[in-house]
Amino acid sequence: MADGKFTLYIRKVIVNPMLGRKQMAVELLHPEMAGLKRSEVKAAVAKKFKASEDRIAVFGVKAKFGGGRSSGFVTVYDDVDARVKYDNKTNLKRDKIGDLPGRTARKMAKELKGKRKRVKGTAKSKVVAGKKKR
């Protein structure tokens, strides 16, 4: 593999103050490389926009037919809090940012659903997992 040389073209920059970010389409030229790592793209965008890498989300990178070119999307958030608030959970999990709740087991979720069916009113929110008390 080459020493990571590629050209980054930033297209269609939109400043989105409602979501606290700049969003853009990027075009990548990498003639000596098969593909690019998201971390390399992040580093290049961080350098251009003078932002830390944890504020940048890179997604939708697809190679063009024939090789040597790729395109994708990048969002640069104003701060990490804005990213945690507005970025989708897949991007946050991929970059290990924020704390996402762990999933409950399928069997446990079904048991909780059954218990909620048997309880009336506001008590549904108080139902917890576990065995019945006798």
- Residues above pLDDT 90, as percent of the chain: 26
pLDDT band at 66 (very low <50, low <70, confident <90, very high): confident
Q: What is the pLDDT of residue 53?
A: 87
pTM over 0.85: no
62-69 contacts, C-beta under 8 A, 24 or more apart:
63/35, 67/34, 68/29, 68/30, 68/31, 69/27, 69/28, 69/29, 69/30
- Residue with tokens 């979501």, as numbered in its chain: 19
Structure tokens given for 60:
């939708």
- Point out the least confidently predicted range of 15-19, 111-115, 125-129, 130-134: 130-134
Amino acid at 8: L
Q: What is the pLDDT of residue 2?
A: 47
Q: What is the mean pLDDT of residues 10-18?
A: 91
